Structure 1
C-alpha cells in the first residue's frame, strides 16, 4: 500500500526535474565569414607582348611562350593565362575558347557572357561567368583581332562546390575584370 501512495509523488517529481532544461530550439545555420584583403593592383611588365595590372595577392608563375599562371595561394585557386599570336587563325581561336567554356555547361547552372570593348587600347573580348559546380568558374579572352590573343581560365584546387568557393570566386572575378580593363598590347 505504501508503494501505491509513493508512485504518483515519484512521477510528479520526475516530471518537474526533467522539464527544467528550458525550451529546445534548433540551432540557427552558421555562415562562414571570409574576409579577404582589399586588392592592391600593380602593373605587370614582362618581355611578353602584353601588360596588365594584377592583384598583389596573386603570384606570377611564368610558363613558356608568354603563358603564365596567376596563383592565389590564400584562395587555393589559379588563373591560367595563355597567349597565342594571331596568324590567320582568329576564327579557330575564338571557336576553341567558346568550346572550352561551354564544355562546363554540363555542370554549370548558368554561363553569362559579357562583351568587353576598349577602342582606345584596341582590346576586344568576352568574359564568361560560370555559376554552379563547374570545374572553371570564369573564362575570358581578349584580342586586338590582328596580332594578339590572350585567354584566361579560373580553376580552384578543390572539388567544385559552388557554395563553398563562392566568396573566392567573386574576389578573383573582380581581379579578372581589372586585368581585362587594364590590358595593353605592346608593339
Structure 2
C-alpha cells in the first residue's frame, strides 16, 4: 500500500511503514507541511502534540481545513500545565512530554483501533529531548517507527535542527526513510 505525499520536492507516494523526519529551523512555520501531510490520502490520523494543547491543534486543523472527523489528538502538554482537559474519543492525554511510554502506548492503541490509511504526526522530537534526553527520545522514536511498519501507517516527525548538535540531527536522520528540510523561507527539499 502506498500513501500520497503532498510535500514539495518529495516523491509523489511513499510506501506504508515509512517514517519521515521534518527538519526545520526553530522559528519556521511547519503548520503548512504538517497539515498537507495529514489531509492527503488519509482515513484516520493521530497528532501527538508536545508543544501545544489539544485546543490549539484543533484550531490549526480548522484553519488549514483538515477534516477533523479523521483526527485523534494526543495532548502531552495540558495535564502538566494544569489546563482544563476534556477526554473524549478524539482527544487523549498523557501526563507530560516526558511520558514517552505513554506516548508510544497511546500511538499503539490508536493504530490497533483504526483501519485504513493512518498517519501520525509528532510535533515535536525537540520537545521530547528537552523533557527527557536524546537517548530516551531515540528509543521512543524507534518504537514508533516499528509501529508504523507493523500497522502499515506513515508518520511525520518534527525536529528543530538548529537547536541540536549536528551529530544529534545526523543520528535522527539515519533512522528515517525520508528527510524533508524546511528552509526559513518555506522552501522544502527532500531526500528519500
Same structural fold, with TM-score higher than 0.5 when normalized by the shorter chain:
no
Instruction: Tell me the TM-score normalized by structure 2.
Output: 0.28
- Structure with bigger RCO (C-alpha 8 Å, 6+ apart): 2
Bigger proportion of residues as strand:
1
Bigger proportion of residues as helix:
2
Instruction: Tell me the TM-score normalized by structure 1.
Output: 0.28
Who wins on radius of gyration, i.e. which is larger? 1
